Structure 1
Amino acid sequence: MIDGHSLLELPPGDVLFLIGNSAVYFGLGFLAFKLFENVARDKGLLGHY
């Protein structure tokens, strides 16, 4: 990280927040991708489906 500090030096609560925040954004992104993939499939925009 910055100035020679590592992630292990962060307080455990901050690390858990970062992991949780990343999981939420990953989940939302995955759901949005699946939603719009289905929309594109229904409209016939994807050639191999």
Structure 2
Amino acid sequence: MLALAEDFVMGALFGRAFARPVQDALAAPPPLGLRMPLAAGFGKSLRR
């Protein structure tokens, strides 16, 4: 969960590209949108 929050903050505040799961969640139409489930293992392979 921390990886998701870190990725969002870095993208929102510092203009870094969001990880693919965050991009997909932001782009999904309601009602799914930000309620989109994350893939298993999210955050273990985030770029640094």
TM-score of the pair, normalised by structure 2: 0.30
Asked which structure has the greater RCO (Cα within 8 Å, sep 6+), the reply is: 2
* Structure that is richer in helix per residue: 1
Structure index of larger Rg = 1
